[in-house]
Amino acid sequence: MVLSLILLVVDHRFHHLQHLRSTLAFLTYPLHYLADLPFTATHWLDETTSSRETLRAQNRNLRDQNLHLLAELQKYESLQAENMRLRDLVDSSFKVGDRVLVAELSSVDLDPYKQQVIINKGSASGAFEGQPVLDAHAVMGQVISVTPFSSTVLLITDTSHALPVQVLRNGLRTIAVGTGRIGELKLPYLPTNSDIVEGDLLVTSGLGGKFPPGYPVATVTRIDRSPDAPFSSILAQPRAHLDRSREVLLVWTVPSQLPASYVPDPADDPEPQPEVPAQSEAELKPGTEAQAPTVSPVPQEPAT
């Protein structure tokens, strides 16, 4: 009993047990596989026995869709080239190149009060801890433990997950924290007077260095501004189909050189005062608090 208490504390506070957990997870992989088997089997049966007509229709649809996407991609490529050229002009070029791998969710239920899923690609495919996971629509979460053939993904809606984001419309930076409910994120660190409206799209800001910048995350759904509170309570709905997607994308970011302006300089305090430490600590509190979870090692400026 004492041992389990110690384990609890150690696992919660430190990350030394990650190795033990990964080893044990490898041993329990057969159970996960077994639980997933009926669903994989029905999926396979469904695919092999579907009629020629259905397959043809599906094929036609996919070809149409592919054509559309290719057309979009042409536009996107020229835009990217233009973007690079412009960045060259202002001397702040950085390469954005991401490699992705498609993985499938295992039909396995974990603790209902934690937002985690298991996917069928592990370290054998190159997955690593802290790797971003997307679905076809938006950011889903990040890998928190890997075994050779499977890995566990913490969804962005888990209460222990915080994600540096910015509003696409005006670049306002903040942090999106999970609420523990699927389909809901909150933005607890925005002051009452910040420029954000319902319907704003939030994208990853790339601060923190774990998620590549510019991927959509969520749409702002509700804003409660009460005049006596320092921060407004803002809820957002994840764009990713967290409870419906079966295919997910694992992303490798090709190491990029961030422009110098992206690294916040602690010496750059707007109002240098003798009692700076206390002052800036109080100011930084919202930002630093949100970093306690595993997301962002880079100090964050308070969003104003």
Partner 1 sequence: MSGPGNGRLAILITLCVAMLLMILPMPEWARPFRPQWVTLVLLYWAIALPHRIGVGSGFIVGIVLDVLTGTLLGQHALGLSIVIFIAIQLHQRIRVFPFWQQSLGILILLVIEHLLALWVSGATRGVTPGLAYWAVPLIGALLWPWVFVTLRKTRRHFKVV
Interface pick for partner 1 out of 15, 34, 83, 170 (rule CB under 8 A) = 34
Interface pick for partner 1 out of 40, 92, 120, 159 (rule CB under 8 A) = 159
Interaction between residue 180 and partner 1 (CB under 8 A): yes
**By C-beta, is 21 or 137 nearer to partner 1?**
21
Interaction between residue 193 and partner 1 (CB under 8 A): no
**Amino acid found at 75:** K
Q: Given the DSSP bridges, would you call strands 132-134 and 98-104 parallel, antiparallel or unpaired?
A: unpaired
Interaction between residue 1 and partner 1 (CB under 8 A): yes
Closest CB 24 distance from partner 1, rounded Å: 4
**By C-beta, is 27 or 267 nearer to partner 1?**
27
Interaction between residue 41 and partner 1 (CB under 8 A): no
Interface pick for partner 1 out of 32, 121, 173, 239 (rule CB under 8 A) = 32
Interaction between residue 245 and partner 1 (CB under 8 A): no
Q: How many residues bind partner 1 (CB under 8 A)?
A: 36
Find how far residue 161's CA is from the centre of its chain. 9
Structure tokens at 268: 């750059």
**By C-beta, is 86 or 110 nearer to partner 1?**
110
Interaction between residue 109 and partner 1 (CB under 8 A): yes
Interaction between residue 247 and partner 1 (CB under 8 A): no
Interaction between residue 114 and partner 1 (CB under 8 A): yes
**Edge-to-edge strand order for the sheet containing 247-253?**
98-104, 247-253, 132-134, 139-146, 151-155, 116-119
Interface pick for partner 1 out of 31, 45, 69, 136 (rule CB under 8 A) = 31
Interface pick for partner 1 out of 116, 120, 125, 221 (rule CB under 8 A) = 116
Closest CB 4 distance from partner 1, rounded Å: 4
Within 8 A by CB and 6+ apart from 196, the residues are 167, 172, 187, 190, 220, 223, 234
Interface pick for partner 1 out of 15, 17, 43, 124 (rule CB under 8 A) = 17
Give CA angle at 291 (290, 294), nearest 5°: 120
Interaction between residue 201 and partner 1 (CB under 8 A): no
Question: For residues 192 and 230, is the Cβ–Cβ distance under 8 A?
Answer: yes
For 194, phi then psi, to 5°, come to -75, 155
> Diameter of the chain by CA atoms?
77
Closest CB 124 distance from partner 1, rounded Å: 19
Interaction between residue 14 and partner 1 (CB under 8 A): no
Reported residue count of the chain is 304
Which DSSP helix (H) or strand (E) runs through 178? strand 173-178
**Amino acid found at 119:** I
Instruction: Report how far residue 118's alpha carbon sits from residue 152's, in angstroms, rounded to the nearest whole number.
Output: 5
Give CA angle at 140 (303, 150), nearest 5°: 135
Interaction between residue 149 and partner 1 (CB under 8 A): no
**By C-beta, is 150 or 166 nearer to partner 1?**
150
Within 8 A by CB and 6+ apart from 160, the residues are 154, 178, 293, 294
Residues in touch with partner 1 (CB under 8 A)? 1, 3-8, 10-12, 17, 20-21, 24-25, 27-28, 31-32, 34-35, 39, 107-114, 116, 152, 159-160, 180, 243
